[in-house]
Structure 1
């Protein structure tokens, strides 16, 4: 067995999760088991599909494995026939969908975004796939700021001192051009998996393994110029609804989940600063973008 921590809780796992913070054997809140998981109800049209259960959900990754996540405490995994040797690929949902499902079941607000600590406050980057959330996070780290999480941002809303961002797993996933843009060499970094040519950038040295107060959420969009734009209240709510982790899999959540999420996101939209950042698709402009964000946060 392996023992880790992430997002503030201990994990006991039957499979290795490289990059997770290792901890001594102790009481754990989440357990990961190798055990049978029911096959998908229908053949997935995409590589990944999600089915709703009475007490959780199942994730089916075609050609890799099936995962059952229940009650915010247990994850069961069944590798598909012939996929057993691809250990790095089997582990990938535990950096994204599986850990997001656990956090969601624990009643956290889970956003599909990356987070950085700047001057003691958390900056969350949201945006559609390919908008550069991880790349901009890595660029901010190269400017000396601290890492909180990548891809999965979990919020604690009921803290007496205000909304907090929970510390995730200290690593980022970057394409080769983004790795070069922030001054690293792709060949010196491991690949995510044999079939996903993203590189893993460790972030242990700048990892903030503690709750960080949330200050600002930035929605990334493409534009002709680098600029920050204020948003109307209705735009902020739409930003958060589209940015919550399971927005694409609406039917996989319980009706009670939708009500809770809507209420939580509405509260967040009214209490947290949310702005839009437009940027051209040009990695050479990363220093300009990071400087603008630093000035804005200050």
Structure 2
């Protein structure tokens, strides 16, 4: 799926400005940003719920139209189910709207309600379910027609840890099948563990885009060396070392390094020449720390 140069304005408010990214087959893409950043607007344009002022959305070589939209599984952030309709009947109804036969629709309904742990509630009205179970049914509605693309807006909201694990497994399984998956979430630790790539959106613009490890290390990685003396001259001038600092309280020397060009074995050898090394470990900012940095600059 290719999102290319989307622009959207509401009067004087710019909702999207040159929003561009793509999601490859079999890739799980995390779409993150503060409330109002433009995530839901982008997803609604992908689905055709909103029209962009400029730009295009395509699947493969074809611009997305009514037929290709039928192949997308969409889960809105807001509850999109009929509250006084029974779970099973509703899922079958939605599957039929996507062109499935009555038998295929019933089979798919039973398969997904069992997979997501709500099979015992298929005769219940949606409004009688807990918020977590309503969210499970929403995911079943997105999956009921065996889509070839998944677009999920805050799919993990309101779920308990067990349900989060189940939903994560489903998304991984779909990615293994070659289905591109895009989802938004404020649970950044979950995004970090689940996604292949991440896009961080700020005020309608894509401010950071790339693999999780790539983004976390884009401003350097911290290498902590415990053992060498406070005199840090042993580390100065080494390839890939961007900055050096010594912390007397922990006897640790912290090096900010560029992981693309730094040679950790050369750094270790240099440290050992001036004394024993008791700890030698790298760490990169978490996605949460990176997110704070991106949205505040």
Could you tell me the TM-score, scaled by structure 2's length?
0.21
Structure with greater proportional strand content: 1
Could you tell me the TM-score, scaled by structure 1's length?
0.21
Q: Which has the higher contact order (CA 8 A, sep 6+)?
A: 2
| Higher Rg of the two aligned structures | 2
